[in-house]
Amino acid sequence: MKYSISVLMSLVLVVGPLRAQQILTFKNAVKMGLENNVQLNQQKNQLISTKVNRTSAMLQMGPGVSANGNLGRTDGNSFNQQAGEVVNGQIDFITGGLSASMPVFNAFSQLNTYRQTEKLNEAQLNLVVRTTQDVIRNVAFQYLTCLLDQQLLKIDQQNLETQKTQLNQIKQQVDLGSKAEADLYNQEFQVRNAELLVVRSGNRLKNDKALLAQTLMIDPIVSFDLEEINWGVATQLDAITLENLNTAAMENRADLKQVANQERAAQLGYFARRGTYFPNLTAFAGLNSQYNYIHGMSNRSFEQQFRSDNRRINYGLSLSIPIYGGFAGRAQVTQQRVAFENARLTTKNTEVRVKSDVLIAYQNYQDAQASFTSAEAQLKAGELSYQMEKERYDLGISNIVQLTTAQQAYVRAQSDFASAQFTLMFQKLLINYATGTLQEEDIP
């Protein structure tokens, strides 16, 4: 009995989450995309590397400390400082030391290197932000595409049911002799065509859901349903001018901040390389000691030798003046200056691209609004026209061709309206993407 209860509880724990995962909400899809996206995770890992580089460059401006030690034996002639003479024999020795050095002046080369790594870290952080927005945009597009496919499938299924119902009515009318037999054959073709459209819509939905599953890094074989969303008609942008959108984009676009930081980093790298033209002054200090054991002779103790007799302290300043190095330094400075000039060109190009993105997104949004309004009017007209044509056909005033044309126009109007609705939803997200303000919290 206990075993049965435990098995039942295990099944509940396993089946429960599976059922909960069958419905994929828009917000959960975006969250899964951000968690599983390979490129985004790689950029986050790279961000850790740039943080370590920044910390390393900062600490290199301080002193560097190292310890050293040796343990060995000398067999033969060697000078021993305890005996003050050349000793022929075996001598065991232990040496140890501690040394430190600190740059005093290097023409701010190390400081500029630290500032360069700081800017590179900021650039990588902005790249992570923009990659996050890329993932949100891609997941949103694929999710809305699947929702549109779902809606189009429903329209085709409803059309199929309508065609079947109409086929039954025409059969009865043909049997009564009130309709021509040609109308029956025409309607049977419309039913078969509607069935084909349902199959194609279903396959298109399955294919797009498989692409969404691939983007979210989930098993595409596992079946899941999409939650219907109802954002309503997107808010109007009449109060927002193109100039305001451009201003917001120039302030918020992470990719623009990225290239600006990269340009500044290249400039600081150029300054750091140029510092190699100047003398380099370094302070140093060292503490060393040694213990020797001469076989066959009396030796002073380890404590006396290592702590007192052989202890040495040295300190001072080291000056290095570059005179001639085969133009290696000049070549490195030139390469860094070229990298800076190229980074400056990239920044200018990105500024133009950002303004173009905003302009295109704004115009596409206006076009989507106009298309939605037109599709809405077309849907109302198509529905009214179909109803009137259906009544005319039932009264014998119209023929099957006119009815079929009106019905096809109504189905097409339904599809156009659904497409315009989801396009308008996505274009609103693209406005935020173009201005660089798109966030996970913006997803309803």
Q: Are 423 and 364 in contact (CB under 8 A)?
A: no
Please tell me the predicted confidence (pLDDT) of residue 1. Answer: 42
Q: Are 245 and 96 in contact (CB under 8 A)?
A: no
Tell me the average pLDDT across 154-179. 86
Q: What percent of the chain has pLDDT over 90?
A: 40
Question: Which of 16-25, 73-82, 393-402 is predicted with the least confidence, judged by mean pLDDT?
Answer: 16-25
Please tell me the predicted confidence (pLDDT) of residue 339. Answer: 93
pTM for this one? 0.81
Q: In this structure, which long-range contacts are made by residues 325-332, counting pairs with CB atoms below 8 Å and at least 24 apart in sequence?
A: 329/273, 329/276, 329/277, 332/273, 332/276
Q: Out of 20-24, 92-96, 389-393, give the one with best mean pLDDT.
A: 92-96
What Å distances lie between residue 372 and 75, 416, 420, 434, CA to CA? 96, 9, 5, 21
Does the pLDDT of residue 188 top 80, yes or no?
Answer: yes
How far apart CA 168 and CA 187 sit, in angstroms, is 9
Taking only the tens place, the pLDDT of each residue in 309-361 is 888 899 999 898 888 877 888 898 999 999 999 999 999 999 999 999 999 99
Exposure of 4 by Cβ count < 10 A (0-12 exposed, 13-18 middle, 19+ buried)? exposed
Token pair 């590397």 in the structure block, residue: 49
Binning pLDDT at 50, 70 and 90, where does residue 75 land? confident
Tell me the average pLDDT across 215-239. 73
What average pLDDT does the chain have? 85
Binning pLDDT at 50, 70 and 90, where does residue 236 land? low
Residue ranges of alpha helices (H) inside 99-180 are: 109-176
How far apart CA 37 and CA 74 sit, in angstroms, is 61
Exposure of 243 by Cβ count < 10 A (0-12 exposed, 13-18 middle, 19+ buried)? exposed
The secondary element (H helix, E strand) that includes residue 64 is strand 64-80
Does the pLDDT of residue 185 top 60, yes or no?
Answer: yes
Looking at the DSSP assignment, which residues form a beta bridge with residue 90? 75
Q: Are 120 and 91 in contact (CB under 8 A)?
A: no
Q: Which amino acid is at 57?
A: A
Please tell me the predicted confidence (pLDDT) of residue 232. Answer: 58
- Residues contacting residue 334 through CB under 8 Å, at least 6 positions apart: none
Pick from 212, 63, 104: nearest CA to 148? 212
How far apart CA 400 and CA 386 sit, in angstroms, is 12
Binning pLDDT at 50, 70 and 90, where does residue 238 land? low
Residue 406 CB coordination number (10 Å): 22
Taking only the tens place, the pLDDT of each residue in 98-148 is 999 988 888 888 899 999 999 999 999 999 999 999 999 999 999 989 988
Pick from 203, 198, 200, 202: nearest CA to 161? 198
Looking at the DSSP assignment, which residues form a beta bridge with residue 24? 226
Please tell me the predicted confidence (pLDDT) of residue 329. Answer: 81
Looking at the DSSP assignment, which residues form a beta bridge with residue 87? 78
How far apart CA 22 and CA 40 sit, in angstroms, is 26
Q: Which domains does the chain have, with CATH numbers?
A: 25-61+106-278+327-442 (1.20.1600.10), 64-104+279-321 (2.20.200)
Taking only the tens place, the pLDDT of each residue in 7-61 is 344 434 433 443 444 788 888 999 999 999 999 999 999 999 999 999 998 988 8
